[in-house]
Each structure stands twice: as C-alpha cells, then as structure tokens.
Amino acid sequence: MHIVAVLALDQVVPFDLATPIEVFSRTLLHGAPAYEVRICGPSRELDAGMFTLRPPWDLSGLADADTIIVPGRASNPPLPASVISVLRSAAARGARIASICSGAFVLAETGLLDGLRATTHWAAAPELARLYPAVEVDPDVLYVDNGQLLSSAGAAAGLDLCLHLIRRDHGSAVAATAARLSVMPLEREGGQAQFIAHDAPPTPRGSELEPVLAWMEENCAAELTLSGVAARVGMSTRTLNRRFREQTGTTPLQWLLRARVRRAQHLLEATGEPVDRIAAQVGFGSPGAFRERFKRVVGTSPQAYRASFRAV
C-alpha cells in the first residue's frame, strides 16, 4: 500500500496538517483504503498553536514512505538537523515530497528546491524568494509539480495538491470521488485550471500584443517565424522581442513553445492520437524535439502524462 507520511513540526498549521490526513485517509481503491497515512514528528509532543500534538510516529516513519507531505508552520525557525537529514535521505531514495503553504520554507532550507520552480502562500512568496534565491518562486499558481518535488499555495490549495497527487496515482475517477468527499471540485473554475502548474502562456489583457498573442495561440501548429509574427503586428523583430519581454516576461519563441505544449496536453488528455502525430499537430518538427520540450515544461513524458490524466 502507498504510504503517505505527514511531517508535523513545531508551530504546524492545523489546517495544513489536517488536509492531507483527511483527503488521503478517505480515498478508496476498489472499496479498500488506497493509502496508509502516518503522522510523524521529531519529538513526542509538538506545539500546534491552539493544542499540543502527539504524533504516533517519530521520524523513522518517513524512512519507507512513498510520499511525504510537509505542512506549513506559523513561524519558520531553523530546522532540526534530524529533519533536514531525513528529508534529504528520502529524496535521495526517490520518495515523492510535497509541501503545503509555508511548508515550502522547510523544503527550501534542505536545499531540495534549489534550481526548481516552487510556490507558497502569496503573502509569504516574497520572503521565500528573498531567503532562498536559488528557488524560482511563482506566487500566482495553486501548485507546482516538478515530478518528485511539489509545492502548493496556502489554505485550500493544499486540497488541490492532494487531489492532484491522487489523480497521478490512481487516475481521474478515484480522484473525482475523493474530491466529492471533500466537497471540492476536481478542476477549479474561474481561470484556475487543474494543471495550473503548467498554465497557459500569459496573455496580458488590453495590451498591444493581445491580438497577436491570441493569433499565435490559435495558429501555434503552423510554422511561425519571428519575422512573420513581427510583420503581422507591424513591428521590427527587435521591437517585437523587446515588447514580448516587457509584456509577457519571455521571448516570442518561448511563448510559442509553451502554447504548443499546452495544446499537446489537451490532445493527450482528450484523444487517443499517437504521440508522434500529436507532435506534428501542435507544430513540432520532430517527435524527439516534442518529447524533450514537453518534459522540460511539464516535468514528465507525454506517455506518462497521458497515462495519468487521460479521461476514460
């Protein structure tokens, strides 16, 4: 059985602690529990603010865990050396580790997030970026999935993250049932997509680039060139590059590649088309280039993504 260990530290946020316990412990697979859930801590008693917590497991409970969830803390004092060691060891053996809210500070302190994209509560994001400049902090998403290491924003985003993990493990049907038990939509409406970690390329509303960005996204499968896009918008290629940097934070090529990957995600989820054909349909010159770019953006291969997220 898949073991989920929830790491409780002093000043743990009760909401963040309870979310994975409730979601994973209530998830069923063929009528039986899908997960074994453990609450682990570095000491026999922990300060949880309004109450004292006595974790049933010590840190040894993380040694064979398949997934480790790190809830947020009300404050972020330096971690005990034992906690840093056990998390690094878990990552080295391939365990999946996910943080909720300010739990990202814990992962950042271990160095596990260095060079990776991560998120946390929007109010804490500037401090996370200041303290850990090696981490690419994105405050605008519900969660970030880097494959082995994940992070989520605050409060209800922990639910989004847990449902995303269940969907990765057991597919959409099991995750949808878990979502209903949590009285939570499996997919957020109002502009927040389920795969928000791989969100659509930004389109600044009301900007002079908005029409051409919409056109590029609609025609992302075509063989678009920088000079062709510049001619359409009536700019020189140099001016177009500068405006893209100013208004989207990236280059025209990078924006286009992200749009193509996003289109590919939809086709992988909604159709049974072969991966090589999808590569051509979204505008990649070769299946190899498509697979490389897809894994760089999404964090997994097209085949693995389809296995996890294709609607049945």
Rounded Cα distance between 125 and 199, Å, is 19
CA dist list (Å): 133 to 81, 106, 114: 22, 15, 8
Whether 287 and 275 have beta carbons less than 8 Å apart is answered as yes
Annotation marks residue 162 as catalytic: no
Long-range contacts, stretch 283-290, CB < 8 angstroms, 24+ apart: 283/220, 283/221, 283/222, 283/223, 283/224, 283/256, 284/260, 290/264
Residue in the structure block whose two tokens are 């989207």: 248
CA nearest 156: which of 137, 125, 179?
179
- DSSP SS3 for 38: strand
CA separation for the pair 142, 160 (Å, rounded): 7
d(CA 247, CA 208): 9
Query: What are the tokens at 222?
Result: 């075509």
Angle ∠(291,117,192) on CA atoms, nearest 5: 85
Residue holding tokens 């062709």?
Answer: 228
Cβ partners under 8 Å of residue 205, min gap 6:
none
What's the token pair of residue 258? 């992200």
> What sign does the CA torsion over 201, 249, 227, 279 have?
negative
Catalytic annotation, pick one of 40, 101, 162, 220 = 101
Which secondary-structure segment (H or E) carries 268? helix 252-270
d(CA 238, CA 227): 10
Mind telling me the catalytic residues?
101
